[in-house]
Amino acid sequence: MSDLHNLSVKALASLLQTKEVSAVEVATRFLARMGGNPHNAFLDIDSEVTLAQARASDAKLADGTAGPLEGVPVAHKDVFVTREFATTAGSKILSGYRSPFDATVVQRLRTAGMVTLGKLNCDEFAMGSANENSAYGPVQNPWDTARVPGGSSGGSAAAVAAGLAPAATGTDTGGSIRQPASFCGITGIKPTYGRASRFGLIAYASSLDQAGPMARSAEDCALLLSAMCGGDIDRDSTSLDMPSEDFSASLNHSLEGLRIGIPKEFFGEGLHADVRAAVDGALSEYEKLGAKLVPISLPRTELSIPVYYIIAPAEASSNLSRFDGVKFGHRAKDYTDLVDMYKKTRAEGFGNEVKRRIMTGAYVLSHGYYDAYYLQAQKIRRMIADDFQNAFKECDVIAGPVAPSVAWKFGENANDPVADYLADIFTLPASLAGLPGMSVPAGFGAGNMPVGLQLIGNYFKEAQLLNAAHRLQQATDFHLRKPEGI
Ligand code: GLN
């Protein structure tokens, strides 16, 4: 079968269950494609480990103990700790680090039968929107290698778009699943905060971090999300004590009468015309499917940028204090005493963006500034969440662009961190509110680059979002298009 790498998770799972292909055959094909590390998408590959997992899957398929996704490959963003692969979070400070345990999400996907292809490049500690902040070099966008793949889950998005993995995990703190999915023309969903366990997910901003799947279609995302979710209360106290759902079961519900809220703040000045055209196209498809478009307002959209860029760095400055060279990771070679060791280790180990955020975070939390910045930001965060609840009185889901533009060229924003921050405007509100959000391919814009439509649902409405995305994907073929030569 020559096009194994282009098959969906669903198709691969069924070929494996009926033994038309073996897990070893599938893994071998993907490992061959990963050779030479195209697009710099991977940070760790170990074919021995992958093949051993695939052989174990074949044994389970043979003896009838196979999981639902047995033998289907997946690759993990490098912020999920893994026993069998190194974990760096894209940082020099964790170079060569190996965890003694697997993250819950990794472990659950293994239990469902998935075979691990390796670890995926990302912005250092998931801080960024272009994957230009990885200590191990940027990832290229498979649609145009002169452009960024988005971030911070850039390796995940590029790997799926380039047919190096049928699916990947990502994390989304302020848009890091949705925006790279949009930039690379794939589908990704960030579930409600607390749906997926954060245990073993290297923390960036704990009140925002959430794991989710990235794949070619909503149907495939549903399969992975069902396997990933579920309470893990003993190991992550913020995980929701509720069982996962079979998200595939509700994929064919009619959209007749669905009220789609269109926030006017998402369609203002900053939105590029090409993105707007693609998003409008998707919205008229929804009208054809029986949905009604309802104008709504999310009045504090603009404030989500300063609010997020206070809260996320504040939490990061605390979370990243554990990287001190004492127990794991990089340690500076020459130092005079303990404090000197801390200073040199952290100065050498962290990149500029991470340092910038640690300093911002320490500043907004410091005595005398806490009330003016951090506390104020928390209050506005609450108001942003309330705005959504008001909006959901008038609509069932909210739709808009994922990002103001298509993927930009390397270097365009590299010396202007604020330009990157501003580009997060449409993904930050749902993150601050803890709502589920997804990106669905909606067309192509400037430079023939993919454009994603963002769908935001109310708490726990992942099934509704995935259904809405799936229906669009039955009516359009944007998610089936591939970069040339894939
Ligand atoms: N671009 C945002 C940031 O840099 C979001 C990143 C993320 O979701 N991990 O923080």
Domains and CATH numbers, the chain: 4-258 (3.90.1300.10)
pLDDT at 435 over 80: yes
Pairing of strands 292-296, 259-263: parallel
Q: What is the dihedral of CA 388, 394, 398, 401, to 10 degrees?
A: -90
Atom of ligand 1 minimally distant from the CA of 353:
4
Average pLDDT over residues 196-219: 98
pLDDT at 2 over 90: no
Considering the candidates 176, 182, 197, 226, report the single residue annotated as catalytic. 176
In angstroms, the CA 27 to CA 51 distance is 7
Average pLDDT over residues 433-460: 98
pLDDT at 485 over 80: yes
Q: Categorize the per-residue pLDDT at 328 as very low, low, confident or very high, splitting at 50, 70 and 90.
A: confident
pLDDT for 80 equals: 98
Ligand 1 pocket test target in 210, 309, 353, 424 with most atoms within 8 Å of CB:
424
Q: Which residue has the higher pLDDT, 308 or 414?
A: 308
Atom of ligand 1 minimally distant from the CA of 128:
4
3-state secondary structure of 451: strand
Considering the candidates 22, 99, 134, 152, report the single residue annotated as catalytic. 152
Percent of the chain exceeding pLDDT 70 equals 100
* Residue 248: cis peptide before it, omega within 30 degrees of 0: no
Average pLDDT over residues 117-138: 97
Q: Categorize the per-residue pLDDT at 417 as very low, low, confident or very high, splitting at 50, 70 and 90.
A: confident
pLDDT for 412 equals: 87
Cα dihedral sign for 311, 314, 316, 318?
negative
Instruction: Determine whether 77 is an active site residue.
Output: yes
For 69, 152, 208, 256, the CA distances from 220, given in Å and listed in that order, are 11, 21, 24, 24
Ligand 1 pocket test target in 173, 207, 432 with most atoms within 8 Å of CB:
173
Percent of the chain exceeding pLDDT 90 equals 96
Atom of ligand 1 minimally distant from the CA of 173:
8
Q: Categorize the per-residue pLDDT at 422 as very low, low, confident or very high, splitting at 50, 70 and 90.
A: confident
In angstroms, the CA 434 to CA 354 distance is 23
Considering the candidates 77, 119, 190, 461, report the single residue annotated as catalytic. 77
Measured N-to-C along each axis, helices 218-228 and 9-17 cross at an angle, to the nearest 10 degrees, of 70
Structure tokens at 212: 């989710």
DSSP 8-state class, residue 421: H
Ligand 1 pocket test target in 79, 152, 353, 420 with most atoms within 8 Å of CB:
152
Residue list, ligand 1 pocket, CB within 6 Å: 126-129, 152, 172-176, 204, 312, 424
Pairing of strands 167-172, 450-457: unpaired
Identify residue 161 by its one-letter amino acid code.
A
**Mean pLDDT (the chain, rounded):** 97
Q: Is 288 exposed, middle or buried (0-12, 13-18, 19+ CB in 10 A)?
A: exposed
pLDDT for 411 equals: 87
pLDDT at 420 over 90: no
Measured N-to-C along each axis, helices 462-475 and 273-288 cross at an angle, to the nearest 10 degrees, of 90
pLDDT at 464 over 80: yes
Structure tokens at 106: 């990794």
Location of structure tokens 């940082």: 91
In angstroms, the CA 155 to CA 138 distance is 9
**Of 21-25, 70-74, 150-154, 269-273, minimum mean pLDDT range:** 269-273
The C-alpha angle 48, 7, 187, rounded to 5 degrees, equals 100
Q: Is 484 exposed, middle or buried (0-12, 13-18, 19+ CB in 10 A)?
A: exposed
pLDDT for 364 equals: 97
For the segment 271-318, what is each residue's pLDDT rounded down to a tens digit?
A: 999 999 999 999 999 999 999 999 999 999 999 999 999 999 999 999
In angstroms, the CA 415 to CA 406 distance is 19
Tell me, in angstroms, the distance from the centre of ligand 1 to residue 21's CA: 39
